[in-house]
Amino acid sequence: MRRLLLLALVACTHAEPAPTPAPEAKSADPIASFATVKTVLQSPRCVNCHPAGDQPLQGDDGHAHQQFVQRGPEGRGAIGLACATCHGKANPPASYGLHMPPGVSTEWRLPPPEHRMVFAGVAARALCEQLKDVRQNGGKDSAALLHHVSEDPLVLWGWSPGTGRKPVPVAHADFVKAWKSWTDAGAPCPPQG
Ligand code: HEC
Ligand code: HEC
């Protein structure tokens, strides 16, 4: 027994110094925080308006929007088939049933073709760099981006998406917290891949 203890002591002294741990260090790791951000951005409610192509997506499987709906010159739909034709200023009441076009207080639309903000199918590093790139994110600096993810009605809709749709799988407060801890640390991007 004594010998075992001694051995353990010796082993400890020779071990590499443990990384000096702050109890919260793990949760504040900006790369882990970015992973939470990525989970939100690539969940169906967000991806469906941030597609790789020029058609919005629908459902949890991200199928192409029915009626051949297109992004159009400003993200508001093709001439003659504007998003606003079907999408109003609020989700229809539950009594209307499933598969109703959702709505928000602001204008329901895709990002414009000049800054398409593609979230669908983008690898972690590319997603991270795109978010920080003012040429790709609509000229938003860090403060404007934080404001956007905290308060924009299109973002908040992801947590009250209307009858029959699953909300974003991470609480909004946890998303904003992760966003802040990532950007407060200088918004580092994960390694390639
Ligand atoms: C109805 C479509 C729609 C939905 C749903 C949507 N977005 Fe967006 N998103 C947009 C549009 C439009 C813009 C561009 C806004 C602008 O430039 O003014 C945008 C831009 C962004 C930007 C970049 C900042 C910018 O302005 O370019 C982020 C980050 C973002 N959205 C996050 C989210 C998250 C997170 C969700 C899900 C919780 C989400 N979006 C859901 C339409 C949507
Ligand atoms: C002809 C009517 C119509 C037009 C025009 C239209 N939509 Fe829709 N949209 C719908 C309906 C109906 C649904 C609900 C489908 C369902 O729940 O199965 C829907 C659902 C969606 C969803 C899926 C929400 C989710 O997460 O499941 C997105 C995103 C969307 N529309 C974006 C747009 C955008 C952006 C435009 C304009 C470029 C647009 N739609 C134009 C009728 C329309």
Is the confidence at residue 24, as pLDDT, over 70? no
Question: Quick one: which ligand is closest to 141's CA?
Answer: 1
Q: Are 111 and 85 in contact (CB under 8 A)?
A: no
Is the confidence at residue 110, as pLDDT, over 70? yes
Amino acid residing at 158: G
Question: Quick one: which ligand is closest to 168's CA?
Answer: 1
pLDDT per position as a tens digit, 34-59: 999 999 999 999 999 999 999 999 99
Q: What percent of the chain has pLDDT over 90?
A: 84
Is 28 or 56 the better-scoring residue by pLDDT?
Answer: 56
CA of 86 to the centre of ligand 2 (A): 7
Is the confidence at residue 154, as pLDDT, over 90? yes
**Res 17: pLDDT:** 56
Distance CA 59, CA 61 (A): 5
Question: Where does the pLDDT of residue 1 fall: very low under 50, low under 70, confident under 90, or very high at 90 and above?
Answer: very low
> Is any atom of ligand 1 closer than 6 Å to the C-beta of 119?
no
CA of 177 to the centre of ligand 2 (A): 30
> Is any atom of ligand 2 closer than 6 Å to the C-beta of 59?
yes
Structure tokens given for 135:
């040429």
